[in-house]
């Protein structure tokens, strides 16, 4: 099998402070660390971390043996995007629990996208 | 507006040699460079590049001011996954033309996923 699964996670209704600046970067790195441990993923390097000027959006990005993990926060909108793409099937993580544990209350929308040989049926995207 | 658009591109039927090892890495970097120039994207660092042991799959990953760009090749399957996530709306690139120019003949499947405030209607994923 090739291709795998991508989780596209949109998080809304976050407190701005939870996802902004150095505090936001630390919280998101901790979320990444827990996710990586829980799913037994293998990072190829330290995450790329970038904190943008005020209001302090944060980008974190890491290549994995299994593909990649990324997030981008928009404190001005209380919004966070998360992507996890893994080339091997594995159980879905508890996205809502992880987000709330590290970032506080939020609305979490998860979509699961199949990649590769199963992607020839785009209507199966959900 | 927050959230933006993600293009999820699955490429099949590639020649293995086109996407493997150092040659594959060079070809994929050139594809990234043309895409970045065409869409006026702003990389935050040199792309992270990783070539796996034989058969020589390649991962390229770069954070952008506009979000991120990633690819993973599977030479054993003639398959390449591409992701471009941009937080600002812009015209779709010519994915098929770009892929064929840099990697040769292929079948290219493009899905466009809306993120953020428009993601509350997952049935709109297409």
Cβ–Cβ pairs < 8 A, chains A and B: 127
**Complex-level ipTM:** 0.88
Chain A residues closer than 8 Å to B63 by CB? 48, 50, 59, 61, 70
Q: Give me chain B's average pLDDT, please.
A: 91
Chain A residues closer than 8 Å to B116 by CB? 10, 12, 74, 77, 79, 81
Q: Is A74 on the interface with B (CB under 8 A)?
A: yes
How far out from the chain centre does Cα B104 lie? 15
Q: Is A119 a residue whose pLDDT tops 70?
A: no
* Maximum alpha-carbon separation in chain B: 44
Cβ-count burial A83-107 (b if 16+ within 10 Å, e if not): bbbbbeeeeebebeebbeebbeebe
Residue among A2, A68, A120 minimizing CB distance to B74: A2
Q: B109: domain range? A: 5-124
- Rounded-to-integer distance, Cα A105 and Cα A103, Å: 7
- Rounded-to-integer distance, Cα A24 and Cα A3, Å: 32
Give the rounded percent of residues in chain A with a pLDDT score beyond 90.
83
- Rounded-to-integer distance, Cα B67 and Cα B69, Å: 7
> CATH number, domain at B9?
3.60.90.10
Q: What is the pLDDT of residues A74-86, one digit of tens each?
A: 999 999 999 999 9
Q: Is B30 on the interface with A (CB under 8 A)?
A: no
User: What confidence category does residue A89 fall into, taking pLDDT thresholds of 50, 70 and 90?
Assistant: confident
Residue among A70, A79, A126 minimizing CB distance to B125: A126
Q: Is A6 on the interface with B (CB under 8 A)?
A: yes
Q: Is A122 a residue whose pLDDT tops 60?
A: no
Interchain pair A63, B44: CB under 8 A: no
pTM of the predicted model, to two decimals? Answer: 0.90
Chain B residues closer than 8 Å to A108 by CB? none
How many domains does one find in chain B? 1
Nearest to B112 by CA among B124, B97, B100: B124
Q: Is A76 on the interface with B (CB under 8 A)?
A: yes
């Amino acid at each position: 099998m090739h291709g795998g699964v991508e989780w596209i996670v949109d998080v809304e209704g976050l407190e701005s402070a939870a996802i902004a600046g150095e505090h936001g970067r630390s919280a998101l790195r901790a979320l990444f660390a827990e996710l990586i441990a829980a799913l037994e993923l293998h990072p190829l390097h330290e995450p790329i971390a970038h904190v943008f000027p005020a209001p302090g959006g944060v980008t974190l990005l890491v290549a994995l043996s299994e593909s990649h993990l990324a997030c981008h926060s928009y404190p001005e909108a209380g919004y966070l995007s998360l992507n996890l793409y893994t080339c091997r099937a594995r159980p879905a993580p508890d996205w809502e629990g992880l987000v709330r544990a590290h970032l506080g209350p939020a609305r979490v929308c998860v979509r699961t996208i199949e990649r590769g040989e199963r992607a020839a049926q785009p209507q199966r995207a959900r």
